Structure 1
Amino acid sequence: MITIIWTVLVLLAIWIAVVLFLDYLKHRTQLEGNSWTKTGLIGLVGNFFDTLGIGSFAIETALLKFTKQTEDRLLPGTLNVGNAIPTMAQAIIFIRIVEVEPWTLVLMVVASGAGALLEAGIVAKLPENVIRLTMGIALLITACFMVATKMNWIEGGGEAIGLAGGKLMLAVAANFVLGAIMTAGIGLYAPCMALVFALGMSPAVAFPIMMGSCAFLMPMASYRFIKEGAYNRKAAFAIAMAGLIGVFIAAFVVKSLELDTLRWVVLGVILYTAAVMLRAGLRNQEN
């Protein structure tokens, strides 16, 4: 079963890479005026920390806004499309090296993909102001999960590598919702990790589950964003290519890293970015 999942991920990665590349070639003379270097570095940094379990969406949202590399209305599509291939690389690596019960993994990742496929077409057509407010609230939710995990307010964690019965049904339903809202630019890692802990599973199992969930949902969501043209092509392409480098550095070069201080720094960045998003969204609503 794990081999089948791994094979499907490889095929999905090839498919979405081809779709992205063909769309890039089709519009190569109409690319945005942002910087290859800046967006590439953003993708490398974001996916480096993503592989370590911190998450990339909040970090990249902050950096893309601070460096003014894309319009707010294109952020959800740019994040999903740009990070799809690097995230799939993470999943391919961690599903092979971390033991997890196959049916738990399969059902949770399929649920997240179904949620993303349902909602991506809707998010792609939302006005910029709605996206700003949605992402601002999403970043606040992500920050709450990060604080709850850091402060041990979320009880749970154990040695289990899989779920059954009611717990499995709850996990599947929750991942469906997480997959749906991720298309709005909400990172799945923090809430998924909190879910795994709360249901009594081993912390290590969180990595293949959350990475596998994102790896299955992001190609589906990305395809919808690409077809709608609701993403920054230049930024997404740069993030995808440089992001792979960040994944491999984190997975194979960095053996250990003290993340406690860094998590608090990231939390501060998330809160600041959430405030900027909400302020802009609320101001536009008043106008």
Structure 2
Amino acid sequence: MLAALLVLLGLTALLYLAVLLRAAITQRIVPNAEAALLGAVTNFFDTLGIGSFAPSTAWVKFRHLLPDKLIPSTLLVGHTGPSIMQGIVFLLLLGADVDPVLLVGCILSLLTGALIGARLVTQAAVWLVQLTVALGLVIAATIFMAINLHLMPGGGSASTLPLPLMLLAFAVNFTLGVLVNFGIGNYAPTLIMFSLMGMDPRYAFPVMAGSAAIAGAGASISHIRIGEIDLRVVTGIILGGIPAVLVAAFVVRSMDVAMLRWLVIGVVYYAAAVMARSAWAGWRA
């Protein structure tokens, strides 16, 4: 089953790259250098557990790199490349220890939600996208704070779940698949969910990474074809992010990121307030 998942992930990655390269070559895209640096930093710390969507959203908002409407879809497509690399790494390191039914079910659930959500985000009003992103940022920052204050559930030692909890996990992953199109990452909510259900938190990583990789690729292909993304930022994040994932996974492996997380908390809360203000102004207009 693990070998089949890795093959599926490889084929999905090739299709994602083919569609992306075709669009980039057709439009003669030059990768954005600032986005490459952003991709390197955020995906390095994403591999170590910080997350990439929230700090990336905060940065592009501060720097005005993207219109608000394009932030979720552009970041999703850009961070999917590094997520695929993370998926391969974590499946190889820990995938064999996880119940294959749980692993495959969560991946398919997230993929289904991501494909449905890809159309929803492009059809939504700008203020609704802004509001959803703002809520996602608040949730992410609050989770970071809970981690730093040691309020997160410690988890258990299980590598699988009883059937009722497994079905609940599938439903949650479907919802997260829809929300990932709005710039809300699946890593932190999935980690909390599995920990509350008694699973060993380590075993959440192949589920999170494998789901994000395959679902992200599926949704990204839709976003690339729809065209409401900035390919300069997308290609920059990919070029900077993939090497950073490999360095974090195989060279650094672990480091104390508590102080960095406090900084991210402040920045992300501020970005959420700015995004919410824009949503309020757009809704009134």
User: Where does residue 180 of structure 2 map in the other structure?
Assistant: 182
RMSD of equivalent CA atoms: 1.6
The answer for the alignment partner of 1:195 in structure 2 is 193
Match of 2:244 among 242, 246, 263: 246
Cα-to-partner distance string for 1:210-249 (whole Å, 9 max, x where unaligned): 1111112101111111111011111001111211011111
Matching residue's letter, 1:261 = M
Q: CA deviation at 1:153?
A: 4.0
Q: 1:173 aligns with which of 171, 174, 180?
A: 171
Letter in 1 for 2:130: R
Alignment of 1:142-161 (within 5 A): 142-155=140-153, 157-161=155-159
Alignment check: 8 A CA contact 1:113 1:179 kept: yes
1:264 paired with 2:265, answer no
> So what's the TM-score if we normalise by structure 2?
0.95
The alpha-carbon deviation at position 22 of structure 1 amounts to 0.2
Aligned residues: 283
Aligned residues with identical type, % of pairs: 37
Give the alignment's TM-score, normalised by structure 1: 0.94
Q: AA paired with 2:5?
A: I
* Aligned residue in 1 for 2:27: 27
**1:117-136, aligned counterparts within 5 Å?**
117-136=115-134
The match for 2:160 is: 162
Residue 211 (structure 2) aligns with = 213
Mean CA deviation greater in 92-101 or 143-152: 143-152
Residues 51-130 of structure 1 mapped to structure 2, 5 A cutoff: 51-98=47-94, 99-130=97-128
Alignment partners' CA distance in 1, 2:254 and 2:139: 28
Cα distance in 2 between the residues matched to 1:189 and 1:112: 12
Give a deviation string over 1:254-278, Cα, whole Å, max 9, x none: 1320022222222222111111100
* Aligned counterpart, 2:3: 3
User: How far apart, in 2, do the equivalents of 1:190 and 1:255 lie?
Assistant: 19
Rounded Cα–Cα distance in structure 2 between residues aligned with 1:36 and 1:157:
40
Q: Offset of 1:286 from its aligned partner?
A: 2.6
Contact 1:124–1:230 (8 Å) recurs in 2: yes
Instruction: Please say if residues 159 and 200 of structure 1, whose CA atoms lie closer than 8 Å, have aligned partners that are also in contact.
Output: yes
Report the 3-state secondary structure (helix = DSSP H, G, I; strand = E; otherwise coil) of the residue aligned with 1:249.
helix
Range with greater deviation from structure 2 (58-67 or 154-163)? 154-163
What runs of 5+ residues in structure 1 fail to find an aligned partner? Answer: none
